[in-house]
Amino acid sequence: MDHLRAVPSGAPSSEGAPEGAVLGDLLARSARGDSQAFAQFYDATSARSYGLALRVVRDPSQAEEVVQEVYLDVWRQSGRYDAGRGSVIGWLLTIVHRRAVDRVRSAEAATRRDATYHQEINPVAHDATAEAAEASLEAHRVRTAMQALTPIQREALELAYFGGYTHTEVATMLDLPVGTAKTRIRDGLIRMRDALGVTTS
Amino acid sequence: MSDIDIHSLVGAYAVDALDDLERAAFERHLAECAACRAEVDGLREAAAVIGSSATHDPPAGLRDRVLADIANVRPLPPQTAPAAEPAERQRRRFRPALVAAAAVAVLAVGGGVIVAEPWADDTSQRQPTVAEQVRAAEDAETFTQTLDDGAVATVIRSKSLNRAVLVAEDMEPAPAGKVYELWLEHEGVGMVAAGLMEEGQREVVLEGDPADAVGFGITVEPDGGSDQPTSDPVALIAFENA
């Protein structure tokens, strides 16, 4: 089976190694019970984790709870990360995203479910940590890659990914035939994947 | 759901845009479809790049809470082939952690006392197994469920030791290519993997943190287990407040 890995996008760390290698090492040490390494891992990734959780969940205290649960889960699962399947940050944010969406759906927050959603195609970094420089690089990459999508693909992906809506809800919200949204989401992701250079290693 | 339809869910699955029913169905499909597994991985990586652009400073207190959370929890061991002697393996794996947690060198057992020596290379004095210690704990709680096929699942938990043991009687072997996976249910989190039941095993010490769990479950999963249950539980036990 092919192994997929994003073309390294992280800015080099102060040690001169690409971020993926640094995070992989911190995770491996965490898996052996090294809580200092895990603290460094948290410091290197928490703005992205919290930022994503906050985008999806909207409520800061719930976002905080989601992230707290995620890092505990990551600590427990640190020995089970599989580098052949994707980057460390990809693995981490996948967990964050899943937890955030589960939280949104279980919270039954009626205010979230109204039709007013913000089409934030231009994500903005709000922090001054070391992640910021990387984040604006990422934001630029994402903005550029998003231009490869059709408007419907972009909207569908926005609603699904940041809105936490199911594909059937997205179809309703975008006035698409039932079943069409999931295809738009898939097509949009494939275009993003290709535009961002997620390749086989 | 037809085979043609199921592949088409891969994009929505990669961004968690399936409802519970579809997600369960798709995860069953994933267990059998390498092409979809590979596609999910690539699409999730792309989705994560989108997600990584939305950064925000976390609240200041979160770091301390996270580090406090992990202080009493061990990372799970990597998923490897089972050792020849499951009971032996579990004893080796858990003994150091239990000795670290039991700083006092004495465990109370009902009216009597078991002396647990500090960790020593000399193993001439046999230490109680985890299962024995859980059973013997003062705060041991026992939960039992009779399964549909007449088998009986019993979970004994000690909150003070943060350990639980499953004792399974008369359980049919899992179907070929499948394995029984054990889960601890945590509030707000759902089912967390707590280990696999090896063929022929009757007693299994659960991985994870049973002290905080609100319930326990067993599902049938593909060999090697799954990260999340992909089928309905064959056993489901709620830990009522003692």
ipTM: 0.83
For residue range A74-95, list pLDDT tens digits in order.
999 999 999 999 999 999 999 9
pLDDT in tens, B203-239: 888 988 898 899 999 999 998 888 889 988 999 998 8
Give yes or no: residues A188 and A148 share one domain. Answer: yes
Q: Greater confidence, A139 or A31?
A: A31
Q: What is the distance between the alpha carbons of residues B218 and B206, in angstroms, rounded to a whole number? A: 11
| Gap from A60 CA to chain B (nearest CA, Å) | 9
Are B56 and A132 within 8 A, CB to CB? no
Chain A contact set for B187 (CB, 8 A):
none
Residue where a domain terminates, one of A91, A123, A155:
A123
Residue B80's pLDDT band, with cuts at 50, 70 and 90, is low
* Cα distance between residue B75 and residue A34, in whole Å: 10
Domain that holds residue A109: 1-123
Rounded mean pLDDT of chain A?
82
Q: How far apart are the CA of B4 and the nearest CA of chain A, in angstroms?
A: 13
Closest CB to A196 among B49, B67, B208: B49
Q: Are residues A142 and A84 in the same domain?
A: no
List the 191-230 stretch of B: residues with Cβ below 8 A of A.
192, 208
> What is residue B106's predicted lDDT score, i.e. its pLDDT?
38
Q: What is the pLDDT of residues B163-183, one digit of tens each?
A: 899 988 878 888 888 989 999
- Does A1 sit within 8 Å of B48, measured CB to CB? no
Same domain? For A90 and A145 the reply is no
Is A80 found in the same domain as A154? no
Q: Do B55 and A131 touch (CB under 8 A)?
A: yes
Residues A52 and A142 in one domain: no
Verify that A171 and A112 share a domain, yes or no: no
Average pLDDT value for residue range B131-157 = 85
CATH of the domain at A69: 1.10.1740.10
Report the C-alpha dihedral over residues A38, A44, A50, A56, rounded to 10 degrees: -110
Q: Are residues A96 and A176 in the same domain?
A: no
- Burial of B179-197, coded b for 16+ CB within 10 Å and e otherwise, reads bbbbbbbbeebebbbbbbb
Query: Same structural domain for residues A106 and A177?
Result: no
Q: pTM score, two decimals?
A: 0.59
Q: Which member of B8, B50, B190 has the closest CB to residue A182?
A: B8
Look up residue B51 and give its two tokens: 């997600």
Distance CA B23, CA A77 (A): 22
| CATH code of the domain covering residue A200 | 1.10.10.10
Q: Please report, rounded to a whole number, the percentage of residues in chain A having pLDDT higher than 70.
A: 76
For residues A71 and A139, membership in a common domain is answered with no
> What's the total number of domains in chain A?
2
- Residue A182 and residue B41: Cβ atoms within 8 Å? no
Distance of CA A94 to the CA centre of its chain: 6
Q: Which of A101, A123, A145 is the last residue of a domain?
A: A123
- Please check whether residues A155 and A114 belong to one and the same domain: no
Q: Which of A70, A97, A123 is the last residue of a domain?
A: A123
Same domain, A98 and A27: yes
User: Are residue A62 and residue A135 in the same domain, yes or no?
Assistant: no
